[in-house]
Structures are given as C-alpha cells and as structure tokens.
Chain A
Amino acid sequence: MRFLFKTGYEQDVRLFQHSGQVVSYGLLALLLFSAPWWAGDYVMSQLHFICIYAIVGFGLMMLVGFTGQISLGHAAFLAVGAYTEALMQAAGVPFVISIACSALFAGIAGIIVGLPALRLKGIYLAISTLAFNVIVEEIITRWESLTGGNSGKHLKPVELFGIKLDTDADFYYLCLALTVLCGLACVNLLRSPTGRAFVAIRDSEISASCLGVHLARYKTMSFAFSAALTGVGGALYAHKLAFISPEQFSLLVSIELVTIVILGGIGFLHGAVLGSVFLIVLPQLIAIAKDFLPSGQVPTGLQAVVFGLILILFIIFEPLGLYGRWLKVRTWFQLFPFYRKGMFRRQKSYMKSERLR
C-alpha cells in the first residue's frame, strides 16, 4: 500500500503523483514506441484507429465527462476536420498548417454548436446536436462542387516537412505523437482553473456562476476545445482511410463515439483510450466468435445485438466503465486484504423533477 505524504503545493500540481506512476507510464511508452517491431501489419492498422479514436475520445470526454454537456452529433466535427484536411491537401497546403486548420475550423463549428447550447439543457441540447449532425451530413452530400458529394474525396499520404509518411510505422508515430499531445493538453486543462470551471459547470451550474464562472464563455470553450480535438482526429481519420464520403459521418458514428466515452468510463481521461481500444477490438472478437457458431454462417444482426447488449450490461453493472473496473481491481490489490465491497458504490438517488411549470 502506498501512502502519499505531500509536503509542498508543488507535489499536488505535478503531473505524476508518485514514482510508481512514472514507472508504469514509462513502460507503456516503451511498449507503444516499439510497436512497429513487435506488432504485425494488422495490429499496426488497428493501432492507427485506436489512436485516432482516442483523440476524438479525449475531446468528447472533456465535453461530456467533465463539462456535463451532451453531444449526439460529434461526427459532424469529425467531418469538418476530415474534409478540411482533404481539401487543403488537394490545394497543396503543408500538413502542419492543414491539420491546424482542421482543428481551427472544427473548433469554430464547435462554437456554432455551443452558442445555442447556452440556453438549451438536457434533451433539447441532445436533439440540437443531433440535428446539427444530420444537417452537416446533408450539406456535405449536396455541396458537390466542394466536397465531391457522394463520390467522396481521396487523400494522398501525409507529407510532413517534405518526408512522405507512407509506411504504417511512419503514420503510427504521427498518430501516437498527436495522441500524446492531445492527452497532455487535456490533462493540463484539467489541473488548471479552466478545467475546474468545466467540472463546476457539470456539477452545479448555479453555484458555478455564483462563484464567478462565466457560464457562456466556458461552455462555448468546452464545445470548441472538444470539437477542435475531434477535428484533429478527423484529419488523421481521413488520411487513414485515404477516402472520405458523407456516410462515414452519420448519426450512427456519433453514437459510436459516445459509446467510447461511456464504455471507457465517464469522468476519466483514461476512459477515452480504453473505450476506443474496446470499440476497435469488439468487431474482431465478434468475427472470431462467428467461427465458433454451428452454422458457420454470418448472421448480419449479430454485431448490433452484441454492441447493444454490451452497452446495456455495462451501464447496469459497471457504470464507471472499463476504467472504473480497472480502478476497483487496482484498489483491491492495493488494499489487500482490506478491500470492502461497497467502496465504489453509488449513492442511490431518487428522481426529482427539475421541471417547473
């Protein structure tokens, strides 16, 4: 069992709270850095996706898990990022600038969505984001002169400072670097006043505003930041698939993104990574399981059923998500044999309507 004795304020503010964390994150870094050597082509390809979804997951987690807003339309920001990247690369803009622009334009889209969100709460906000997603998807489909409509757009591999990143390993390091940077940005925000303001808005808007938190500014900031990160993910997504078309940014994709956040564990940044790993690994598991089925035939609805069942079972039995389960396991080992069963139990609450007539 580890006891943390803090003797200075610096220790509270530090990134790594104790040496154990340095060791474990160091090992993880080593593992990830050496991936091109131990991972096969297929695993490398999946790692690309995991990084991309992790970046989007960070963005969505900041908005949903830490600021308490709802977004059922994040695929729209993904689309903005992806198409910005595609169009700029076609125009010959260097990658560093085009990806910054993906983030910027997605961020602006985030502000556009965030502004009405100031007056909208709960289901009204959810439906607005949903409506935004559908409208953006339709605009992309109809504005054929710009986006190529349903025929989509093709992308060439990333060219960074003159070097073509056209191998799996090159693209992997780019994704990994961006994932780490985005994660750091999130962590830094969370340990500074802005991040605390987000959490305040999540838990009690009224007292947050009575403490000096400018609700409008911070909600919009949260949407913009979340959208900007998603835009970066979108740009990488576009390069990964080398071809983008409107149906890749539909409502179903938005819902998948939200499930990343829920399955991973709302309220924990690690949850974004765990959730995206799970989302990528799940279809592989289903494909493997299909081989064991007696008929050998592939029932089309199975993936949807498994996906839905997992979502339901997780929310009922493990509301803290994958990271929550990891925390419980780790605490069990740390406190052994003093772990008590009710340590992470949620306090039961009864529904009380906040609607006023």
Chain B
Amino acid sequence: MLSQILQLLVAGVAQGCVYALVALGFVLIYKATETVNFAQGDVMMLGAFFALTASVTMGWPYWATILFAVLVMAVVGMLTERLVLRPVLGHPSFTVVMITIGVGYVMRGVVTMVPGWGTDTYQIPTPYVDQVWKLGGVILPVQQLMVIVLTAALCGVLYLFFRFTRIGIAMQATSQNQLAAYYMGIPVRRVNMLIWGISAGVAAFAGILLAPATFVHSNMGFIGLKAFPAAVVGGFGSVPGSIVGGLIIGVVEALAGFYLPEGFKDVAAYVVVLIVLLVWPSGIFGETIRKKV
C-alpha cells in the first residue's frame, strides 16, 4: 500500500512539475506585463515539435535538442511579443488575453499544416525513458525522477536570475508601474520582449519533459490548459505559488485517477481550483487586487 502511494506521489509530482513549469511561464509574463498568455500550452507544444525535428530529422543528441528547442522558442516568444503584443501595449487586459488566444489558434493551425508534422503523434527518443529505479520495494520510473530533478534545477537558475541580476529587478519594476519604469530609464519594451522569450523557453523545456508521457501531437497544448488552475491555485502573481500549485494539481490528479471513478481525473484540476478560490479568492500566495482610492 505504502509503495503504491509512493509511486502515485512520484507520478503526481512529476506531472505536477510539468504543470508547474507551464504555470511558471504564465506567471512570469503576468508579473511583468499583467497579461495572461492563453497560448502558453501551444508554445509548449511548438517547443516539443522543434525538439522532435532536431532529434529525429536532424539526428542530434538529446541534450542538444533540448537546448535547440529552448533557444528557438525563446526567439519565437520574443517575436510574438514584438509583433503581436507590443501594438496592444496599454489595451485593457481582456483584449490582450483574446489576442493570446488568437496566437494559440495560429500556432495549432500552423503545426498541423507543416509537412513533417501534421496531426500525427510522434515520439522523441529519450535516453532514460524505459529505465526504472528500485528503491526498497518501490519501482520508480527514472523518467519521472528526471522531470523532478530538471524542474528543480531550472527553478534554481531562474531564482538566481531574478534575485541577483539587474534585469530581474527591472522586470519587477515594469510589472508594477510601466510609466515610472520608463522614467527610470528601464527599456520597458525590451524587458517585456525578454520576459516573453524566457517564458517561451521555459514552456519549451516543459514540453520536452512532457513528451515521453503524452507523446508529441498538435493538441498537446490542452494539457497546458490545466496549468491555469495550477497557477491560480498558487496565486497568479507568485512564482513559488505556481510551483506549489502545479505540484498540488499533479498530485491530486494522480490520486484521483487511482482512487476515484473514471472521469474524475480529468476534472480534478478544475474542482481543486474552484475549492481553493472559495477560500482564498486570490490563490494561496496570491496578491489581492484592490484599487487604492
């Protein structure tokens, strides 16, 4: 029994890490520009496809494909910000959300139209995908453990980046008051572009980590949709919140899939988010939105 729960927990945490990474991408953009990027899941999907191409078509080693996909998506993210979001800088947040939904549609459509990609399902050859680790009586797939370790490593890197670099602090400034940030000499538009790039890179990383579990296909982005409840549960403006939220959703899903009847696993994330919002209207670590008069 204990080993079963442990296996479920590890599986849940691993899935939760993927949600956490996608949620992290949302939160980064939200913290910087108060925009919600509904296309984050599709960015993740696109990243996975680029990794697929690098790995299968071009035959590169696994770690090189990760780097390739992350860098390419960072560029895509920056381009998206430059072309699509910069013209609507200052528009009400609802319309900006709709624009990101439009971007998501375009990404999905383009992926299905590209000759080598289309609507099929693919697999990225991953070095550790079939290995297992035996710990006492518990069998833990190495793939899940790798997801957890790599996620933790990435979070560590990002933490150092935001805490100790000037760009990180500049991003916090632009997120609170754009006009003041401009006056302080912060290149707001460039900072926003960079944030989108980082967020897209993180999403690509998440996509590659997710690929062994769900395979690569054009509707992969809908899994990213579950990262929304994750980000909301943790509190939408909070970076540690997105991680915590992702892990909570991942674990609840894993447990629900095993112990509850069929169908509950799919809605578990959404039920959790409604329950959490009932008690904490701004998520667990969230910031209250209140206008100062």
Chain A residues with CB under 8 Å of chain B are 64, 70, 116, 119-124, 126-128, 130-132, 134-135, 138, 141-142, 205-206, 251, 255, 258-259, 262, 266, 299-312, 315-316, 319, 346, 348-357
Contact = CB atoms under 8 A, between A and B. Distances in A.
Contacts of A311: 98-99, 101-102, 105
A356 B289 contact: yes
Chain B contact residues: helix, strand, loop or mixed: helix
B236 interface: yes
Contact of B98 (A127, A315, A352, A356): A315
B281 A120 contact: yes
29 contacts: A116-B274, A116-B278, A122-B289, A123-B36, A124-B236, A124-B282, A126-B36, A127-B229, A127-B277, A131-B273, A134-B267, A135-B267, A138-B267, A142-B263, A300-B119, A301-B110, A301-B113, A308-B101, A308-B108, A312-B99, A315-B96, A316-B87, A316-B88, A319-B95, A350-B182, A351-B33, A352-B178, A355-B287, A357-B287
Given A70-B94, A123-B30, A251-B225, 13 more contacts: A119-B281, A130-B228, A138-B267, A206-B293, A255-B101, A300-B119, A304-B112, A307-B105, A308-B101, A310-B102, A315-B102, A352-B176, A355-B176
B288 interface: yes
Contacts of A121: 289
A266 B91 CA distance: 13
B105 A350 contact: no
Contact of B109 (A132, A251, A304): A304
A266 B225 CA distance: 25
B3 interface: no
Interface in B96-124: 96-99, 101-113, 118-119
A315 B95 contact: yes
Nearest to A125: B277
B283 interface: yes
| 6 closest Cβ pairs, A-B complex | A308-B105, A304-B109, A305-B109, A301-B112, A311-B102, A301-B109
A251 B177 CA distance: 34
B232 interface: yes
Contact of A116 (B107, B175, B267, B277): B277
Given A127-B232, A304-B108, A350 B292 contact: no
A311 B91 CA distance: 15
A319 B109 contact: no
B90 A301 contact: no
Contacts, number: 167
Contact of B104 (A120, A302, A308, A349): A308
A348 B289 contact: no
A134 B265 CA distance: 12
Contacts of B163: none
B109 A127 contact: no
Contacts of A304: 105-106, 108-109, 112
B67 interface: no
Contacts of A350: 90, 177-179, 182
B17 to A, nearest CB: 20
A124 B103 contact: no
B266 A124 contact: no
Given A300-B119, A350-B178, A351-B34, A308 B109 contact: yes
B229 A349 contact: no
B154 interface: no
Nearest to B42: A308
Contacts of B30: 123
A302 B277 contact: no
B134 interface: no
B271 interface: yes
B237 interface: yes
B4 interface: no
Contacts of B90: 348-351
Contact of A206 (B95, B97, B103, B291): B291
Contact of B102 (A303, A312, A357): A312
B84 interface: yes
A301 B292 CA distance: 46
Nearest to B263: A142
B290 interface: yes
A348 B291 CA distance: 20
A300 B112 contact: yes
Contacts of A258: 98
A132 B97 CA distance: 19
A354 B98 contact: no
Contacts of B293: 206
B62 interface: no
A68 B281 CA distance: 18
A131 B236 contact: no
A116 B99 CA distance: 26
Contacts of B218: 301
A232 to B, nearest CB: 25
A287 B34 CA distance: 38
Contact of B270 (A126, A134, A262, A346): A134
B214 interface: no
Nearest to A351: B178
A356 B281 CA distance: 14
B99 A316 contact: yes
B92 to A, nearest CB: 9
A344 to B, nearest CB: 14
Contacts of A135: 267, 270-271, 274
